[in-house]
């Protein structure tokens, strides 16, 4: 049985995995870069070791350094979290060679689903519905023939890509060659692999994914759906479960297809099938994520299941403890990703020192994070500071709760997207649950106008705080020091915003 786990990651996911390990009585080893010496995951672990410089390539992406650390600290297993080496087949294979349990699928499963062309072929073979397109590296001579067969618009994609890189949308034939070359060049620069394929572009789809678990004994179950259509630059911002769009019949059909897809590659561990769903609820395979997803907490909240605990149980060679007939979605969960970025400056990253945090509390509230007062956000990694998750008995109650906790969540010293998320929660399309992957684009004007209104209101409040301070100062006895002035809410607000020193 696994007694010690090295977590080959950083930030909130490292802390989240460690929490489950502590509950299970499993010791933990943290790895960290020079830039992460003061990160919470380092102090939270039972043991910790520096594995390199700030650059990810010198630390969190250096497989040999991580394996050496695991052997040095006699870790039985490595949990990769998400990102970094979590979907690296070579890393999974090296762990196996060194006798270390990789808490994730086999290298073969990762390879089969990691390359998007390979994944499409595998899904077609398994009779899983896929978006019309190509299943081989696309050559320039085939561009027009393929596009005329499947019809415009199309989307050109990198086979090894993700996060919107190596991707170009084409509406007209005259754009094809330029888009093809641009996607190929970006793919080569980003992934070292310039293989390209093409798909029919589904207009205004929903991005819905199905979580699943598989064990080494051939058992696979699905854990229902997550709606992930609120995206900016192909990056998810808000997720919820269950989806407010699909009906139960479609939900069950998608779950059954996800189980079928996982079985077709002999999948062992936790994974996710991502689907595109059109307005008529036709759904198509998009990709398989062979790791834990960032948004896994919303599934945990509606099912009452600890997915990391199940991952460890499966890695121990045990059969699934969960049965499909016993699983039911209860209530509704929403997750917002909290990032250090400036929405008013094209979402530019906002590294720096966090001066103060006020974390929301109350029933049905969960914060997965790693930051603290005085923590300095490094410039080298993703800007996500954590995730704010709420659960309630219905979607409308969950929405009301999320509005409340976003109001309570205060982070000073750096810019964050908290106010932007609050505006999303008040946007008509989101409130109605009637939104697609074009939500941000369709509501960009409203979101910008709301931001301008928020800034104007804050400016007026700052002026009011200053006036209140002057009035109180003039009314105070001349012998009374400023610190003895009555504490008003305006004065407290002015001090918080840095316009008043006393």
Rounded CA gap, 71 and 98, in Å? Answer: 8
Burial label for 380, CB within 10 Å (0-12, 13-18, 19+), is middle
The candidate with the shortest Cα–Cα distance to 13, out of 70, 87, 66, 83, is 83
Among the listed residues 10, 16, 226, 291, the single catalytic one is 291
> CB–CB of 173/147 below 8 Å?
yes
Sign of CA dihedral 158, 160, 166, 170: positive
Relative to beta strand 27-33, strand 47-52 is: parallel
- Apex CA 183: angle with CA 179 and CA 189, to 5°? 150
Q: Is 11 exposed, middle or buried (0-12, 13-18, 19+ CB in 10 A)?
A: buried
- Identify the three-state secondary structure at position 481: coil
Q: How far does the chain reach from its first CA to its final CA, in angstroms? A: 59
Write down the H helix ranges in 205-350. Answer: 248-264, 296-303, 307-315
Question: ω before 153 within 30° of 0 (cis)?
Answer: yes
- The answer to whether residue 401 is catalytic is no
Q: Give the closest residue to 301 by CA, choosing from 246, 372, 353, 239.
A: 239
Q: Give the active site residues.
A: 291
């Amino acid at each position: 049985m696994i007694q010690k786990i090295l977590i080959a990651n950083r930030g909130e996911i490292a802390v989240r995995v460690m929490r489950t390990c502590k509950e299970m009585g499993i010791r933990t080893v943290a790895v960290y870069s020079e830039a992460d010496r003061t990160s919470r995951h380092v102090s939270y672990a039972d043991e910790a070791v520096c594995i390199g410089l700030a650059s990810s390539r010198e630390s969190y992406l250096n497989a040999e350094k991580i394996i050496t650390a695991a052997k040095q600290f006699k870790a039985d297993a490595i949990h990769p979290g998400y990102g970094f080496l979590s979907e690296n087949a070579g890393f999974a294979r090296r762990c196996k060679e060194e006798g270390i349990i990789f808490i994730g699928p086999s290298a073969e499963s990762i390879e089969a689903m990691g390359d998007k062309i390979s994944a499409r072929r595998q899904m077609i073979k398994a009779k899983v519905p896929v978006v019309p397109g190509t299943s081989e590296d696309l050559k320039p001579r085939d561009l027009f023939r393929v596009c005329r067969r499947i019809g415009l618009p199309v989307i050109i994609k990198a086979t090894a890509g993700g996060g919107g890189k190596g991707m170009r949308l084409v509406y007209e034939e005259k754009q094809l060659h330029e888009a093809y070359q641009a996607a190929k060049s970006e793919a080569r620069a980003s992934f070292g692999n310039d293989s390209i394929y093409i798909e029919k572009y589904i207009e205004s789809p929903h991005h819905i994914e199905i979580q699943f678990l598989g064990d080494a004994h051939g058992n696979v179950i699905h854990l229902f759906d997550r709606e992930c259509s609120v995206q900016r630059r192909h990056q998810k911002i808000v997720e919820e479960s269950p989806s407010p769009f699909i009906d139960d019949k479609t939900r069950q059909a998608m779950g059954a297809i996800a189980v079928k897809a996982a079985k077709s590659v002999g999948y062992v561990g936790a994974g996710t099938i991502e689907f595109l769903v059109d307005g008529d609820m036709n759904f198509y395979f998009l990709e398989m994520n062979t790791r834990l997803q960032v948004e896994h907490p919303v599934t945990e909240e509606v099912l009452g299941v600890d997915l990391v605990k199940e991952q460890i149980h499966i890695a121990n060679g045990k059969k699934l403890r969960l049965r499909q007939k016993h699983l039911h979605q209860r209530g509704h969960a929403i997750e917002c990703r909290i990032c250090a970025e400036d929405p008013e400056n094209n979402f530019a990253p906002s590294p720096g020192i966090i001066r103060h945090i006020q974390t929301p509390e109350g029933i049905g509230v969960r914060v997965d994070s790693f930051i603290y007062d005085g923590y300095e956000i490094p410039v080298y990694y993703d800007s996500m500071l954590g995730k704010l998750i709420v659960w309630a008995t219905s979607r409308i109650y969950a929405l009301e709760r999320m509005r409340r906790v976003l109001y309570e969540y205060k982070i000073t010293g750096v810019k964050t997207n908290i106010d932007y998320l609050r505006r999303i929660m008040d946007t008509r399309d989101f409130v109605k649950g009637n939104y697609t992957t074009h939500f941000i684009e369709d509501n960009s004007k409203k979101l910008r106008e709301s931001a301008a209104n928020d800034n104007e209101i804050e400016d007026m409040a700052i002026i009011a705080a200053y006036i209140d301070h002057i009035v109180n100062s003039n009314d105070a006895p001349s012998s009374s020091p400023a610190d003895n002035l009555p504490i008003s809410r305006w004065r407290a607000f002015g001090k918080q915003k840095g316009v008043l020193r006393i």
